[in-house]
Amino acid sequence: MTDVVMPQMGESIVEGTLTKWLKKPGDRVERDEALFEISTDKVDTEIPAPAAGTLAEVLVEEGRTVGINTVVARIDETSVGQAHGLPVPAAPPAAAPEPPPPAAAAPAEMAAEVAGALSPLVRKLAREHSIDLRLVKGTGAGGRITKQDLEAYLAERDRAAAAPPPPPSAPEARLEPMSHMRLRIAEHMVMSTRVSPHVTTVHKVNMTRVARTRERSKAGVQARYGFQLTYLPFVTHAAAEALRAYPLVNASIDGNNIVYHGEINIGIAVALEGGLIVPVIRNADRMGVLDLQRAIVDLASRARTKQLKPEEVQGGTFSITNFGSMGSLFGTPIINQPQVAILGVGVVEKAPVVIEGDAIAIRSVCLMGLTFDHRLLDGALADQFMGKLKAVLETWSEEFR
């Protein structure tokens, strides 16, 4: 038997939550094949099998949080399926065929069960209209069913058929627990709003020069490098230049002290099913647009396949969230602690703009909002930072940098 343990995903990580088993006992597993998923304070990821064989037993069920190096399962390297003695569940016995339902009684046979004699006319009407005479109340002598009783029954049946169906009942409320990721996001967001007084300043940015550069280059980038060229690396490049010009926006607070970070490490928010994660591009100020785009694509892809390493979601000094990719004009994002600012980027769209000489022209514009921690940053500095970012984008040389 080979023990499968909860791995240590970083020096500061002491426990992890086993969120999902990808195999069940009795399944064949190959070495390095994804075996289960875990969630820690820093990252969600898949854990590979340490050996090939059969998953003999699972010792930790889904949803449990255990310490690192805890044995969560065992792999039998000597047995493979039925050939090596694993029990094979017996096939369930075939269900006996159900007897056919009894044939429905004809109206004439139904009439035999109705009290009182029936006239030939009543029997004929019952046959023609497929009436179960047991459902008709007779008003004749001794409870006999008359022609008028059948006509009244038919009229009522027609009214019921023509009536609109009752409105569908509302579905019952459904209760399910939050996922581990959703709980961590909730805790982090509540903590951030409690710690930092949030203020957001919004600027309109003329993205026309960037849009022209992107439009002229995106086909060649796709053909040569295999990824799309978006607006986000241009914005990230401009943000890095603005952070270099205003290092207080790249700082953090430690008690009563200001920590000025030596690196510009920009986190890019990535939407996942049921949550989000913010992988970090380290030394973003040293990278050009193509390198930034490559890093964004790589980190986003591995975030969605749970392949990020713990260190790739740590050490961020500033964050960007691109809600414009979903068509939003702008928003007021929450600061990713312990950072002191986050940039929200809205959709880039063409709009009429007043230019020199009071003329109106069509330009590509975008609303960008900087949410900042008012303990450290004031509105004047936040707007100076946004002015620098805006200037970089609006005066783009229409070449890659």
For 203, phi then psi, to 5°, come to: -125, 145
Contact 280, 300 (CB under 8 A): no
| CA-based nearest residue to 303, from 49, 47, 48, 45 | 45
Q: How many CA atoms lie within 13 A of 234 on its CB side?
A: 31
Residues 84, 129, 158, 374: which is the catalytic one? 374
User: In 10 A of CB 140, how many CB atoms?
Assistant: 16
Packing angle, helices 232-245 and 379-394, rounded to 10:
130
Give 350's contacts (C-beta < 8 A, 6+ positions apart): 362, 363, 364, 365
Contact 368, 202 (CB under 8 A): yes
| H or E element, residue 185 | helix 180-195
The rounded distance, in Å, linking the Cα atoms of 232 and 225 is: 17
Percent of the chain that is helix, strand, coil (3-state, to 5) = 35, 25, 40
Give 345's contacts (C-beta < 8 A, 6+ positions apart): 231, 232, 235, 320, 321, 322, 323, 324, 366, 368
| 374 part of the active site | yes
For residue 143, the Cα-to-chain-centroid distance in whole angstroms is 67
Residue 130 burial class via C-beta count within 10 angstroms: exposed 0-12, middle 13-18, buried 19 and up: exposed
| CA-based nearest residue to 321, from 204, 218, 230, 232 | 232
User: In 10 A of CB 82, how many CB atoms?
Assistant: 10
User: In 10 A of CB 312, how many CB atoms?
Assistant: 21
Distances (CA, A) of 265 to 144, 278, 287: 93, 11, 11
Residues 158, 198, 378, 383: which is the catalytic one? 378
Residues designated as active site: 374, 378
